[in-house]
Amino acid sequence: MTELADMPVRTTLFTSIGRIAKFTRVMYKPHYLLYGILWVFALEGTAALLTNPTVGWHPTGATAARIAIVAIVLLYLRMVDEQKDLDYDRIHNPDRPLVTGAVTAGELRAAMATIALIAIAGSLALSLRSAIAITAVLAYGLILWALEQLSTTIRTNILLNLVVTYPVQLLVTAYVVLSAIDTGEAAARGRVAWVAIVFAGAFLQFEFARKTSHTPRPGEMYYSNALGGPGSAIASSACAVLAALCEIALAKPWDWHGTATVIGWIPLALTLIPLIGTYRFLRSKSTDYPILPAVLFILTLYLTLITQAVVATHQ
């Protein structure tokens, strides 16, 4: 009898797991995972290059653990967004899983709790500070949710919303850097804090680009609604230039030799990608900013930083 009574519970559990898996396939595209992997590699490698350049950097088991943890935490944050943006999605994204009922809020929260436990436990295996830092990321996601529920201004003013929401990215950056220091991939040097500007600029150029249009989008969260199409596009390119210039100023490729020097200057050359994208957007009558240049810039920049860390730290 007990076994028969347990069957509906197991069936419900398996059904919920299947729904969460489907949600992940739909809302957590492979390129999100690719971004997370490259982000951790590039960030850890750059931190190592800036703080411990005489020791050759290479990924370790701790690096793999951080990648896995960041990957599931990005999924956690995606689940938070799905719930906090529900009212907006009912109007502008009616095909989202939570709107259609393909997944329930209860299932998402159960999955979030599971992810949080795994992320904290995995980070604790790396170091106590790693666990504290990832807990801060998880907590800030919930704080953002609460703030948007409490304040209509934060929820509807896209520039204020960006100011409030972007720090979660900074917290992930801090997690990777602090954890890398604790596990020996990087050293504790004050200048490593400046890498936050490099990765903020890279991400924000993409963030502005994906929500920029010549056409007003009343009621939609587009930066061009606040800045105008040209203003939003220029902001995107400015962030890319800031990221490249800051990275070069920190890395000082003029002090390197041979191949490393060439690679060290590539970030500046890569700014041509978003600059050309912005130029074409401003000159054309295309409605939306072309997203491909923004994606190409961030991916090629991270690949360059990874290569740079490997090559330059082995000089």
Tens-digit pLDDT profile for residues 131-180:
999 999 999 999 999 998 899 899 899 999 999 999 999 999 999 999 99
Written as six digits, the tokens of 164 are 């409030």
Tens digit of pLDDT for each residue in 287-307? 899 999 999 999 999 999 999
Contact 211, 223 (CB under 8 A): yes
pLDDT of residue 12: 80
pLDDT of residue 119: 98
User: Among candidates 222, 286, 287, 227, which has minimal Cα distance to 92?
Assistant: 222
User: Residue 292: CB partners within 8 Å, gap ≥ 6?
Assistant: 277
pLDDT of residue 138: 98
Expressed in percent and rounded to 5, the helix, strand and coil fractions of the chain are 80, 0, 20
DSSP notation for 127-180: -HHHHHHHHHHHHHHHHHHHHHHH-HHHHH-HHHHHHHHTHHHHHHHHHHHHHH
The mean per-residue pLDDT over the stretch 247-268 comes to 92
Written as six digits, the tokens of 293 are 């240049």
Q: At residue 258, does pLDDT exceed 90?
A: no
Contact 271, 296 (CB under 8 A): no
8 compared with 67, residue with greater pLDDT: 67
User: Rounded to an integer, what distance in angstroms lies between the CA atom of residue 105 and that of residue 117?
Assistant: 19
Q: At residue 269, does pLDDT exceed 70?
A: yes
Contact 97, 23 (CB under 8 A): yes
User: Among candidates 9, 157, 140, 131, which has minimal Cα distance to 81?
Assistant: 140
* 5 pLDDT tier (thresholds 50, 70, 90): very low
Q: At residue 46, does pLDDT exceed 80?
A: yes
Residue 220 dihedral angles phi and psi, to the nearest 5°: -100, 150
End-to-end CA distance of the chain: 70
Q: How far is CA 35 from the centre of its chain?
A: 7
Provide the whole-model pTM.
Answer: 0.92
91 compared with 113, residue with greater pLDDT: 113
pLDDT of residue 166: 94
Q: At residue 7, does pLDDT exceed 50?
A: no
Written as six digits, the tokens of 41 are 């590699």
User: Rounded to an integer, what distance in angstroms lies between the CA atom of residue 89 and that of residue 102?
Assistant: 14
Written as six digits, the tokens of 62 are 């701790």
DSSP 213: B
User: Rounded to an integer, what distance in angstroms lies between the CA atom of residue 101 and that of residue 293?
Assistant: 35
Domains of the chain: 12-186 (1.10.357.140), 189-315 (1.20.120)
The mean per-residue pLDDT over the stretch 44-61 comes to 88
| Rg of the chain over all Cα atoms, to the nearest angstrom | 21
For a pLDDT cut of 90, what percent of the chain falls above it? 76
DSSP notation for 108-134: HHHHHHHHHHHHHHHHHHH-HHHHHHH
Q: Mean pLDDT for the chain?
A: 92
Written as six digits, the tokens of 120 are 């904290």
